[in-house]
Amino acid sequence: MPETTRRRIPYDHLADQYDAMFTRPRDQAENREVARRIRKLGASGTVLDLGCGTGFFLELIAKDPSEYVGIDISAAMLAKARLKYPEHAFDIGDMSQLSYEADSFDFVVALWSFSYTTNPERAANEVRRVLKPGGKFFAIVYADWGPVSPLPYEDWPSYHPVTRSMFSAADIYSLFRCLNDRRVTGLSAKAVPDAISARFMPLETRLIGRLFPDACRYLMFSGSKCA
């Protein structure tokens, strides 16, 4: 089971500043690598964005409003998303209790949000339920980064500690055993200085991320539902 710290980000308190948080070169390099991986998987057809926040997925991958639904538990984050993408659909809800019918989406994505669900097993089963046969899933979760957090907002007065789950590669493979074609790759190696990561993130991901995923700050997971 994942290691859990007693901290969770109250996104309602951070919504106004959230889009300006991740502007450092290493952050931008990570975002480009995430976008590259999603494009390689092929986020075609209908997309369900779990923990969509202010619409970060749409910043990485353009989707027609008819092919996208975002869901989040934070009303403040969704308000920001609706301002940025007024034609797209955004619902408030919990990823472990989705209201959508079975076999509804071609692609389900969860960018960092899976580490904040209170019931990862149930959420994983919900992912499989709403995916169409042959549909794909992509997620990023927090790995165990040790005592020093890479997140920029944890010293802010608006940050309140609650719960965050950190996973190992073995945890992720077990959690998503309901899916096929499972693959875990590390993102952003902990031991590599920021300046080097910012410049060589694709190479870092291919070498360290594939061979030693647990040596990274984040884990990228992909899988599919049996056709």
Q: What 3 state SS string does 79-141 have?
A: HHHHHHCCCCEEEECCCCCCCCCCCCEEEEEEECHHHHCCCHHHHHHHHHHHEEEEEEEEEEE
Residue 17: pLDDT band by 50, 70, 90 thresholds? confident
More reliable by pLDDT, 83 or 3: 83
Q: Which domain holds residue 128?
A: 3-224
Asked whether the predicted pLDDT for residue 129 surpasses 80, the reply is yes
Q: What integer pLDDT is reported at residue 7 of this predicted model?
A: 36
Q: What is the dihedral of CA 55, 4, 205, 226, to 10 degrees?
A: -70
188 alpha-carbon distance from chain centroid: 14
This prediction has a pTM of: 0.89
Is the Cβ–Cβ distance between 109 and 49 less than 8 Å?
Answer: yes
Domains in the chain, number: 1
User: In whole angstroms, what is the distance from residue 206 CA to residue 185 CA?
Assistant: 8
CATH number at residue 23: 3.40.50.150
CA distance 129 to 119: 15
pLDDT tens for residues 133-146? 999 999 999 998 76
* Residue 4 CB neighbour total at 10 angstroms: 13
User: Does residue 108 surpass a pLDDT of 70?
Assistant: yes
Rounded to the nearest angstrom, the gap between the alpha carbon of residue 116 and the centroid of all alpha carbons in its chain is: 10
Q: Render pLDDT for 167-182 as a digit per residue (tens, 0 to 9).
A: 999 999 999 999 999 9
**What are the counts of helices (DSSP H) followed by strands (DSSP E) for the chain?**
8, 9
Contacts of 48 (CB under 8 A, 6+ apart): 69, 70, 71, 100, 104, 105, 107, 108, 109, 130
Portion of the chain with pLDDT greater than 70, in percent: 88
Asked whether the predicted pLDDT for residue 51 surpasses 80, the reply is yes
